[in-house]
Amino acid sequence: MRTGVNPEKYKDLENKRYAHRIIIPVYIPNLEDEYYKNSLVVFKTCLENLVNTIDHLKTAITVINNNSCAEVGELINSYSSFIEKVVIYKENKGKVYGIIDEVRGVFEPYVTICDADVLFLKGWEENVFKIFNTYKKAGVVAPLPCQGLAFKNNSAVFFDSFFTNSLKYGKIVSEDDNKLYIEGLGNEAILNRNNREFHWYEKQYYLKKDDVVAIIGSGHFVATYKSEIFKNENSFPEIKFINGYEDKFIDILADKNNMYRLSTAKAYAYHIGNQLDNNIDKLIKRSLEFKVENTYQYKDVPNSKRLNAPFGLRKLFFRVLKKYKKL
């Protein structure tokens, strides 16, 4: 039998609503296997630089612990004053399951999804949201140049640019940032285009408006999304891990919603991998030298409906355009 009234009913406390949420899934089952033995220090580096580079008044962090070893849980607990939400699975559900289970229910208009091995550099939030605030049809923005993925799930931007002549092609990304991208992903050939006149490190497709440059293309190891693109999705990842799952459940959604996949022209993040390398200390030092205005705002910009052609038509148009224009 209950006596009295729950005192919480009279406290009239308000929920905090953020503008931006960062979701980080982590799976480190042990620290003994060769592949995982340095993963804890990598994850700590990720968390430490993340909490030092975001606006905590506007941004919240969610960590998804996918049944990692006890040391990972202890590390997450040590950052409890910075992490707003921790999700714990009793078994490894797979990266995609954990992400979409969270992202489909967020209140924030923007959500960053990132791996647990990303080094965040000062200024990444500011420069990502400069692009969102400048380009109404930006649906995804990565905090490092991803020009090699310009054609990946990006029919909307090429369809629009055919009618508006807004797309530019030239050298925008520096050699240093190209080198960081290649070294972080561990693949020297990733920016090569052996069947075209120019490689991706020589020329890039980009947009420029009000001195804000956006590179065409975005990856998925770290990127910020308009969360609205996830809201009407109810497909279920039946397999815990399968190649192409991130493309099916995450990457394709911006293009389906007639939005662009873009990235910054300068590297504000680095893919560490499963062990620290010689770039880490150098990048952290460089990050301290970045000038951040701290005057940027998160604008809940609605997607422009201009030239909102059906997704299937845009995909067909882009295939034809790419073939005959030799993009």
The answer to whether the CB of 171 falls within 8 A of the CB of 213 is: no
Q: In terms of residue numbers, what domain contains 205?
A: 16-325
3-state secondary structure of 159: helix
Kindly state the average pLDDT of the residues 240-262.
Answer: 93
pLDDT at 19: 95
Domain count, the chain: 1
In a domain, 200, yes or no: yes
The answer to whether the CB of 59 falls within 8 A of the CB of 20 is: yes
Report whether pLDDT(26) > 80.
yes
Apex 287 CA angle, 58 and 201, nearest 5: 105
pLDDT at 117: 97
Kindly state the average pLDDT of the residues 175-196.
Answer: 92
In a domain, 128, yes or no: yes
In a domain, 11, yes or no: no
For position 137, which CATH number holds? 3.90.550.10
pLDDT-derived band of residue 222, with 50, 70 and 90 as boundaries? very high
Of residues 204 and 186, more confidently modeled: 204
In a domain, 3, yes or no: no
**What is 67-119 written as a DSSP string?**
S--HHHHHHHHHTTTT-SEEEE-SS---HHHHHHHHHTT--SSEEEEE-TTEE
In a domain, 10, yes or no: no
Structure tokens at 153: 């799930």
In a domain, 293, yes or no: yes
Q: Own/partner pairs for 14-18, CB < 8 Å, 24+ apart?
A: 17/107, 17/108, 18/58, 18/59, 18/60, 18/84, 18/107, 18/108
Of residues 7 and 160, more confidently modeled: 160
In a domain, 9, yes or no: no
3-state secondary structure of 135: coil
Does residue 227 come out as left (phi exceeding 0), alpha (psi in the -120 to 50 range) or beta? alpha
Could you report the per-residue pLDDT of 63-72, keeping only the tens digit for each? 999 999 999 9
In a domain, 4, yes or no: no
pLDDT at 307: 54
Could you report the per-residue pLDDT of 12-25, keeping only the tens digit for each? 788 889 999 999 99
Residue 80 has phi, psi (to 5 degrees) of -60, -25
